[in-house]
Amino acid sequence: MNGASLLSCLFFSAIAAAARDLPARAPLTADLAASLALDRSPVLRAARARARAAEAASRIATRPEDPRLDATDHSGRGGRHEEVGVSFDLWSLIGYSSRRRAGAAERARAEAELAERALALATEAKSDFYEVQAASATLALRRAQADSARALADFVAAQRRAGNVAQLDADRAEGDAQEAALGADEASARLDAARAALARVMRVPPAADWGDVGEIAAPEAKTPDAAALESLARDRRPRRAEALAQARAARASLFDQENRALGGFRAGVDYEKEIGGQTLVGPSLELDVPASGRASLGRERANAEAEAADADAEAVDAELAEELAVLESRLDSAARRARRLADGVVPRRAAVAEASRTRAGAMLSGLRELLAAQDMEIAARLRLVDARRDYWTARAALERAVGGSLEASEVKP
């Protein structure tokens, strides 16, 4: 079984009955979202049907043509004349082996195409899930920011009514509160859009109760090895297997196409009988005379198609190498940003906010300092959420690029 066939089997055998609906108790995860998408997608269902049609077409193409039966019966005053002939298309017999190899390659190509579609759909579902996680965390942070800004605005408004602060201070605080509320509204809209995108790919109602999607996780401690990634992509990526199968199919069918370009070539047995006369039985042969040059043109076309398929396979290798390099860079950059934010920036911003909270008191200047410190902490946490989302979406795209799990490519830090 080749890499594409194995991957296809793994994808579709992994869709268990537990993934038929949203979980009643277990939380929604990226893997479950991908399983739901694979199980319910009409696009994938259509791709499966096309794969079955391609397999049936390849089996039909390998079969030799049915024999042709010709019969004539002429009667008249001079007597009666009967002719019966059975002939076979010799090209269909001679080219059976090449068509069988081409059919096998075509079936492999259809399986690889199906597996590639499944990979793309799983990647989309996982990326949408990580976007929902990030949007949920962003909304919680924006709401906390809006609550703090509103509390300060209400305090300043009360102080203004008591004549303790200027109107400018009250206007500034109210403007900050409105800006923070706007940020929360935008975060809520982003979450709604993310949920709708994920619901679409999972084929569930947007209003379905998903429960808690959990916090977006920190990057994995292990990092992918570049050489191992390239080896996995060459062995498992369905897109590459599809291109190679297309090239094999073109090469395998070349012999049969060249024969067909020569024209018809049939052989059989003829039976002829005249009433009152003799009976004749003998072989028959039909052969087109290639006087127009179609044969040489047909061979040129067949060779060109095979060369084009080989070139396409080479181009896929180059594209995969470029894609891997870009995704590795994205993954590494997001992981480094997430670790620096989690280990350095966020703890220090949190420490500053806590210190400001301790000494803020009831003075307006202290409260402003506290709000500014909290805003900086929230900004750092938002950047951390985005970095983690970027890491996991890049990892999902990298899994697609190598045709599956990255575990075999990972090394310790």
The pairing of strands 79-89 and 68-76 is antiparallel
Q: Are 85 and 70 in contact (CB under 8 A)?
A: yes
Q: Are 245 and 105 in contact (CB under 8 A)?
A: yes
Alpha-carbon gap, residue 218 to 258, rounded angstroms: 59
Q: What is the pLDDT at residue 201?
A: 93
Q: What is the pLDDT at residue 14?
A: 42
Q: Are 261 and 295 in contact (CB under 8 A)?
A: yes
Enumerate domains of the chain plus CATH numbers: 3-65+101-251+312-411 (1.20.1600.10)
List of residues 6+ apart from 71 with CB closer than 8 A: 82, 83, 84, 85
Alpha-carbon gap, residue 215 to 213, rounded angstroms: 7
List of residues 6+ apart from 371 with CB closer than 8 A: 148, 149, 152, 176
List of residues 6+ apart from 286 with CB closer than 8 A: 87, 264, 265, 266, 267
- Please calculate the CA angle 36-39-41 and round it to the nearest 5 degrees: 95
Q: What is the pLDDT at residue 298?
A: 65
- Amino acid present at 89: D
- In tens digits, the chain (413 residues) has pLDDT values of 454 444 444 444 444 333 445 555 567 899 989 998 998 888 888 888 888 887 888 777 777 778 888 888 877 776 777 888 888 887 777 777 777 778 888 888 888 888 888 999 999 999 999 999 999 999 999 999 999 899 888 988 888 888 887 898 889 889 999 999 999 999 999 999 999 999 999 988 877 777 778 899 999 988 888 888 888 888 888 888 888 888 888 777 777 766 766 667 778 888 787 766 678 888 887 777 766 666 566 667 777 877 888 888 888 888 888 989 999 999 999 999 999 999 999 999 999 988 887 766 556 666 778 888 889 999 999 999 999 999 999 999 999 988 888 887 777 66
Q: What is the pLDDT at residue 328?
A: 92
